[in-house]
Chain A
Amino acid sequence: EIVLTQSPGTLSLSPGERATLSCRASQSVSSSYLAWYQQKPGQAPRLLIYGASSRATGIPDRFSGSGSGTEFTLTISRLEPEDFVVYYCQQYGTSPMYTFGQGTKLEIK
């Protein structure tokens, strides 16, 4: 089973700053199969990035994804107030078919 570890657990930044969220896999993950989600309190997750770097429909270009192998990054170039929520990475593989990281909470400093 591929385990995804996200860091940091909580990231404290100010609006307008740049955020860098990390997702490390216990084994190599195909870049095509790494995704990122945003989840606001009381809401369903929202797909931000799939295929490691492709933005989903309607996602602002301040969100970008990168990485390969076991190290992946979600970057938010200029934080807006609504960006201070929880983010999950997710990989597609085999047994189990999909696994998620434990999440990174982005909080206002």
Chain B
Amino acid sequence: EVQLVESGGGLVQPGGSLRLSCAASGFTFSNYWMTWVRQAPGKGLEWAANINQDGSDKYYADSVKGRFTISRDNAKNSLYMQMNSLRVDDTAVYYCARGVKCSGSHYCAFDVWGQGTTVTVSS
């Protein structure tokens, strides 16, 4: 079964750090772009970051650039997000998701999602 399982969420004070993990199974992890998408309580979806198959290309939303770092370990079939200098508006459910190749080398959508891990930033 193709599966993504996130972990590492929790309650943290503003300015603090967290490291999210996403364990992949049921598919060849190293063949796919991977992404983090977040959803604030009662709000819509926001793309946060993504990473290519070997980790050499990484892209970030402006809202997290310079504070969050996406990485992966293909030997462990795992995706990570190191989150530093957390702010109250980073409070959200964080989903990892697998990229879908739509044309050429472009991964334009997300076909497998984890169940999400909740990050709460509050004093």
Q: Residues on A close to B: CB < 8 A?
A: 32-33, 35, 37, 39, 43-47, 50-51, 56-57, 88, 90, 92, 96-103
B residues 78-110 with Cβ under 8 Å of A? 95, 100, 102-103, 106-110
List residues of chain A with CB within 8 A of the CB of B108.
32-33, 35, 50-51, 92
List residues of chain A with CB within 8 A of the CB of B109.
35, 47, 50, 90, 92
Contact A96 B113, beta carbon cutoff 8 Å: no
Taking the nearest CB of chain A, how far is it from the CB of B67, in angstroms? 15
**How far is B104's CA from A33's CA once the two chains are assembled, in angstroms?**
12
**How far is B61's CA from A50's CA once the two chains are assembled, in angstroms?**
22
**How far is B103's CA from A32's CA once the two chains are assembled, in angstroms?**
7
Q: Residues on B close to A: CB < 8 A?
A: 35, 37, 44-47, 50, 59, 61-62, 95, 100, 102-103, 106-111, 113-116
Contact A51 B45, beta carbon cutoff 8 Å: no
Chain B, residue nearest A39 (CB): B45
List residues of chain B with CB within 8 A of the CB of A57.
111
**How far is B110's CA from A99's CA once the two chains are assembled, in angstroms?**
12
List residues of chain B with CB within 8 A of the CB of A44.
95, 113-116
Of B50, B108, B109, B115, chain A has the most CB atoms within 10 Å of the CB of: B109
Besides A32-B106, A88-B44, 20 more A-B contacts (Cβ < 8 Å) are A32-B108, A33-B106, A35-B109, A37-B45, A39-B45, A45-B37, A45-B110, A47-B100, A47-B109, A47-B110, A47-B111, A51-B103, A56-B100, A56-B111, A92-B102, A97-B47, A98-B35, A98-B37, A98-B47, A102-B44
